[in-house]
């Protein structure tokens, strides 16, 4: 389960302000992996789901290199997409 809680505040060119809040829960399923080779660690995760949203997906990948026993250099990328729509027009 993934809980989403969003709050948006906007100021229009005519200085009108507007705020919207939304929260929902999506059920999801996915895969995760970790691979260790010498001083390298590779990780990844991907999932898809729906519920309060029409469709949502998440993916991340990372790599770490052990410089020493206590020091690691890591890099990664993460992406999340959520198709959620509530109301119409300004609602």
- Tell me the C-alpha to C-alpha distance, in Å, between residue 31 and each of 4, 7, 34, 44, 58: 20, 29, 11, 8, 11
As beta bridge partners, residue 17 has: 11
Q: pLDDT for 53-79, tens place per residue?
A: 999 999 999 999 999 989 999 999 999
For residue 13, the model assigns a pLDDT of 86
Question: What is the value of pTM for the model shown?
Answer: 0.75
């Amino acid at each position: 389960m993934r809980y989403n809680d969003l709050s948006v505040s906007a100021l229009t060119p005519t200085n009108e302000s507007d705020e919207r809040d939304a929260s929902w829960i999506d059920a999801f399923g996915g895969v995760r992996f970790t691979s260790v080779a010498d001083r390298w660690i590779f990780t990844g995760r991907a999932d898809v789901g729906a519920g309060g949203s029409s469709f949502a997906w998440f993916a991340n990948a990372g790599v770490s290199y052990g410089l020493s026993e206590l020091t690691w250099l890591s890099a990664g990328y993460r992406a999340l997409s959520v198709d959620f729509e509530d109301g119409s027009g300004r609602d």
